[in-house]
A and B are shown apart, each in its own frame.
Chain A
Amino acid sequence: TQLLEQSPQFLSIQEGENLTVYCNSSSVFSSLQWYRQEPGEGPVLLVTVVTGGEVKKLKRLTFQFGDARKDSSLHITAAQPGDTGLYLCAGVVNSGYSTLTFGKGTMLLVSP
């Protein structure tokens, strides 16, 4: 069983559309991180959320951590082709260690 479930698995949209991707779990996380990964490269950290209910904005990207710290969402406004990539959420379960548990990701394709 996957500790972190991401949905949708794949999303293909047109430039200018809005979208939301989700990261859900039955476990509580001490923190959660979002990454974007492009083919042939390593994941690039976008944001870390720590507090239940926390909302963070990064230009057109809005990240939210659920009140119970079991889920998170990423909303992209007016998507651009440069947003194309694999979006991964990763959680830290044990606050003593920082090892990350990853979801399988949402593959986003934004067409011009």
Chain B
Amino acid sequence: NAGVMQNPRHLVRRRGQEARLRCSPMKGHSHVYWYRQLPEEGLKFMVYLQKENIIDESGMPKERFSAEFPKEGPSILRIQQVVRGDSAAYFCASSPGTGRREQYFGPGTRLTVT
């Protein structure tokens, strides 16, 4: 009974490079959420997706960040031209939807921008 999978667990990028973070939801879950955790700031919502649709991206920075959840394959959070301030832990959560409120989190990807 695999939980939410995220990879890579650790990612190091130089300033200006692109970062791609992957998330495979729990089996049977069709809703995916991305959160970012910065030291001393707590977890902040970024984007909520269902298969092939972005439902709510109100927490996503307007530039350089994008997310997708294709019909097949994992959800991807993409950060273009990374800057040092993007260094953080990025967590993905999934839920079955259909009125169920519980969200189950993956182990996170720790992004370090050098």
Interface residues of A (CB under 8 A from B): 2, 30-31, 33, 35, 40-45, 48, 50, 88, 90, 92, 97-105
Contact = CB atoms under 8 A, between A and B. Distances in A.
Interface residues of B, number: 28
B103 interface: yes
Contacts of A103: 42
Interface in B86-114: 91, 93, 95, 97, 101-108, 110
Contact of B102 (A33, A97, A102): A33
A42 B107 contact: yes
A71 B4 CA distance: 29
A44 B106 CA distance: 9
Contacts of A41: 107-108
Given A33-B102, A48-B101, A97 B41 contact: no
Contacts of B106: 42
For the complex of A and B, the 3 pairs showing the least CB-CB separation, nearest first, are A42-B105, A104-B42, A102-B43
B45 interface: yes
**Interface secondary structure of B, over-half rule:** strand
Given A48-B101, A92-B101, A100 B33 contact: yes
14 contacts: A2-B42, A31-B101, A33-B102, A41-B107, A42-B6, A43-B43, A43-B105, A92-B101, A99-B56, A100-B33, A100-B45, A100-B93, A102-B42, A103-B42
Interface in B31-77: 31, 33, 35, 40-45, 48, 55-56, 59
A31 B100 CA distance: 11
Contact of B101 (A2, A40, A98): A98
A35 B35 CA distance: 14
Nearest to A98: B101
A102 B45 CA distance: 8
A106 B35 CA distance: 19
A101 B95 contact: no
Contacts of B103: 33, 45, 98, 100
